[in-house]
A and B are shown apart, each in its own frame.
Chain A
Amino acid sequence: METAEGTRARNRRAAWFTHGWLALGVLAFAFPIWLTLMGSTHDASTIGRGDVPLLPGPHAAENYAQAWGVGGGRYMGVPAGTMLLNSLVMALLIALGKIAISLTSAYAVVFFRFPGRMLAFWLIFITLMLPVEVRIIPTFQVMVSLDMINTMQGLVVPLIASATATLLFRQFFLTIPDEYVEAAKIDGAGPLRFFKDVALPLSVTNIAALFVILFIYGWNQYLWPLLIVNDRSLETVIVGLTKMIGGGDTQNEWNVIMATAVLALLPPVLVVVLMQRWFVKGLTETEK
């Protein structure tokens, strides 16, 4: 027979064990960021020498000013300000575009009966199986013949088809009771009115959750901008950052690169943290 004292001691030990592992996990994710943040406040020669700083230095203001307004390294020319704006516009347009066309297609598939309904649904669904990576060259050729290379439309439009968003909205629309539709019909409201006054307001939570996921998706695009943008004024920040690093020479202006990395990290992390509740719910419901 165990004593109460023994059980309590064992519980306390177990709690410490749990805290310890979780703290270690948190540290494993926070440490690289801390290192980058500290690096961005020192001058290039400190980092180049290999004196890896773990505490803040005095050069934060000038590093961020250079990163934001001038750019850095041998890859001179594209200031982080421009790249961040490009990334922001791209991410917003992709997220909103995906939501808009998925809402309307899901609405059509759920609330109407017309020939080819299931075919349309399957065509959208199958795009899940065709990621950009498996159709690189031919998609590039299509972009060339449509004259969409080096344009913002080129960055955004081909990415806004969305099977996942359409599936999610379809599932949600199926839960709207038939009585609502009947009532709307009796009141003489047409399909567009019903969309605006009933379906859309009911979808707000889903839209918010999806927005976070799609904004991150847009912001983090890599292969696509790498392929179709070589005009520096359209450079996005993730691709621009790795171009600044190039082969990873020790003589790089690492301080400016690290400041740019911090700036590239901030917007998507803020979106996830501030909208965490919606986002977690949205993610676990969308993808299953």
Chain B
Amino acid sequence: MRKVHFKGVALPYLLLLPQLVITGLFFFWPAGQAVWQSFLREDAFGLSSEFIGFENFADVLSDPSWLEAAGRTLVFSASVAALALGAALFLAVQADKQIRGADTYKTLLIWPYAVAPALAAVLWLFMFHPNIGIFGRMLNAAGIAWDYKLDGDQAMLLIILASAWKQVSYNFIFFLAGLQSIPKSVLEAAAIDGARPLRRFWTVTFPLLSPTAFFLLVVNLVYAFFDTFGVIHSLTQGGPGKSTETLIYRVYTDGVMNLNLGSSAAQSVILMILVIGLTIVQFRYVERKVHY
């Protein structure tokens, strides 16, 4: 903590003002509104509203199609996180070895960080479109009826792959930084003790990497919940049917398309609680790490 400070009260408030005005106007006010609206029933024109307590929440939580969307989101997010983390860890372990051209490999694996989720979806559409995509055509030629616009499972598979593809480079950067901070002497000691590379990885490297892995798990789950909206919107629009409708996509359709404000607000509040939970978990872990 700092012991020496400048005098003055007006100046620091002035310096904080822009940030606080923006957070107040565009974060706290709308978040408060979301909570308030979640207790109201409003007609579609916003002319009248009545207080109905937790009815919106009860409706959402007992709506089988919402529960289905929740289950779908869970499968989607777990698959995206598992794929993106697994591939990134594997590549980072390879790139951490002393080989020629390691820096070139790193650059070539880091650049996809710049690709927007929606753009990643577009690139995957170019590959897997049933008529114009190279792999889409191959699959059809091989006798597999591939059309993600008709088959829900195929649509889900495609948005999982596109979303995970985009996130690998982010995880790669962190895993590589984590691997490089492991002291080589520890690994050498294990090697001298006769531990084979694979055993060295699971008994030495992986435990030392687990804080990074846990941090990334939370980040990837948040990414899969929220940032993949662009992937779904540009690739499948939640369809065919509702087979790729995740919770966040549903908030969008219920609120923006169907103007069902009360229900949309209640769904927002449920998601808000989820994010708050994830953020707290993440920061508690950071605190613990600071101590050791």
Chain A contacts to B: CB under 8 angstroms: 15, 18-19, 21-22, 25-26, 28-33, 35-36, 39, 47-48, 50, 52, 54, 100-102, 104-105, 107-115, 117, 120, 123-124, 127-131, 133-142, 146, 157-158, 160-162, 166, 174, 178, 181-182, 185, 190-192, 194, 216, 219-220, 222-223, 226-227, 238-239, 241-242, 245, 247-248, 250, 254, 258, 261, 264-265, 268-269, 271-273, 276, 280, 283-284, 287-288
In the assembled complex, the Cα of A276 lies from the Cα of B131 at a distance in Å of 37
Residues of A close to B121: CB separation below 8 A = 242
- A interface footprint on B91-126 (CB within 8 Å = 1, 0 otherwise): 100110101010001011111111111110111111
* Pairwise interchain contact A138-B265, C-beta atoms closer than 8 A: yes
Given the complex, which residues of B lie within 8 Å of A39, measured CB to CB?
126
Q: Which stretch from B71-79, B187-195, B199-207, B271-279 is at the chain A interface?
A: B271-279
Docked-complex contact B275 and A131, CB < 8 angstroms: yes
| Contact of A108 with B12 in the complex, beta carbons under 8 Å | yes
- Does B66 reach chain A (CB closer than 8 Å)? no
B132 and A47 contact, CB distance less than 8 A: yes
Residues of A within 8 A of B26 (CB): 139, 142, 157-158, 161
In the complex the two chains form, is B265's CB within 8 Å of A272's CB?
no
The reply to whether A112 and B11 form a contact with Cβ atoms under 8 Å apart is yes
Can you list 17 A-B contacts (CB < 8 A)?
A: A21-B91, A22-B94, A39-B126, A50-B132, A52-B132, A104-B15, A108-B15, A133-B271, A137-B256, A138-B30, A140-B256, A142-B26, A220-B118, A220-B119, A238-B119, A272-B111, A272-B114
Assess whether A35 is in contact with B22, with CB atoms less than 8 Å apart.
Answer: no
A156 to chain B, nearest CB (A): 11
Instruction: Tell me if B49 is interfacial: C-beta within 8 Å of chain A.
Output: no
Out of A50, A138, A191, A268, which one reaches B11, CB within 8 Å?
A191
Give the bracket for the number of chain B residues in contact with chain A. 35 or more
Q: Which 4 A-B pairs have the closest CB atoms?
A: A138-B33, A220-B116, A242-B234, A138-B30
Known A135-B268, A137-B37; contact A178-B2, beta-carbon cutoff 8 A: yes
Complex: chain B residue closest to A194, CB-CB: B6
Q: Could you tell me if B31 and A52 are in contact, using CB atoms closer than 8 angstroms?
A: no
Known A50-B131, A222-B233: A136·B252 in contact at CB below 8 Å:
yes
Decide: A133 near B137, CB < 8 A? Known: A269-B114, A272-B114. no
Assembly CA distance A157 to B24 (angstroms): 12
- Also in contact, A22 and B91, with CB within 8 A (given A52-B132, A111-B6): yes
Chain A residues positioned under 8 Å from B123 (CB to CB): 32-33, 35-36, 261
* Complex partner residue of A136 from B11, B90, B255, CB under 8 angstroms: B255
Q: Are A238 and B11 neighbours in the complex by a CB distance under 8 Å?
A: no
- In contact, A216 and B27 (Cβ under 8 angstroms): no
How many angstroms from the CA of A101 to the CA of B129 in the assembled complex?
44
With A194-B6, A222-B230, A222-B233 known as contacts, the answer to whether A124 contacts B15 (CB < 8 A) is no
Give 8 new A-B contacts, CB below 8 A, not counting A52-B137, A192-B11.
Answer: A30-B108, A112-B6, A112-B12, A135-B30, A178-B4, A190-B6, A223-B252, A284-B177
Q: Are B264 and A280 in contact (CB under 8 A)?
A: no
In the bound assembly, the distance between CA atoms of A232 and B262 in angstroms comes to: 31
Contact A123 B126, CB 8 Å, known A25-B91, A134-B275: no
Q: What A residues does B3 contact at CB under 8 A?
A: 178
> Once the chains bind, are A101 and B18 in contact (CB under 8 Å)?
yes
The answer for the CA separation of A283 and B174 in the assembled complex, in Å, is: 8
